[in-house]
Amino acid sequence: MIMQIEGLWLSISEYSQVRDISVSTVRRYIKSNRVKHRKENGKFLIFMSQENYSKNQEKNEDGELLKAKLRVQELEMKLKTLQLENDELKMLVDLYENNKQQDFLPELPAEL
């Protein structure tokens, strides 16, 4: 079972603000793989776990914006999951309705 750590993907500038370090330091962290990062649409995003985010949020006055971003990402993940579940249920309903409309009882072979 894979445990998913909850957190937030921040831009380089947002991460530097939260951690109170320079942008160039964040870039060095990325280059040396010191932080978990990914590249999306040509921009680097750095992962910050919710635990680390909470610790830094107490020190950071701009925490409300980042808190809102975390909540938005969480809701987007839930929405995606619900959309997938809804699509599966729609497919099952379609299958059920099609089976109900068609007579699927096979004809008995004629006795020889």
Residue 68 sits in a domain whose CATH number is 1.10.10
Q: How many domains does the chain have?
A: 1
Q: Is residue 84 part of a domain?
A: no
Q: What is the pTM of this model?
A: 0.47
Q: Is residue 109 part of a domain?
A: no
Q: Is residue 41 part of a domain?
A: yes
Please enumerate in sequence order all residues whose Cβ is within 8 A of that of 59, keeping only pairs 6 or more positions apart, or say none: 20
pLDDT profile of the chain (112 residues), mean per 10:
65 85 92 91 85 60 72 88 94 81 62 64
Q: Which domain holds residue 40?
A: 7-77
What does each C-alpha distance from 111 to 1, 77, 105, 107, 108 come to in angstroms?
55, 59, 18, 12, 9
Q: Is residue 96 part of a domain?
A: no
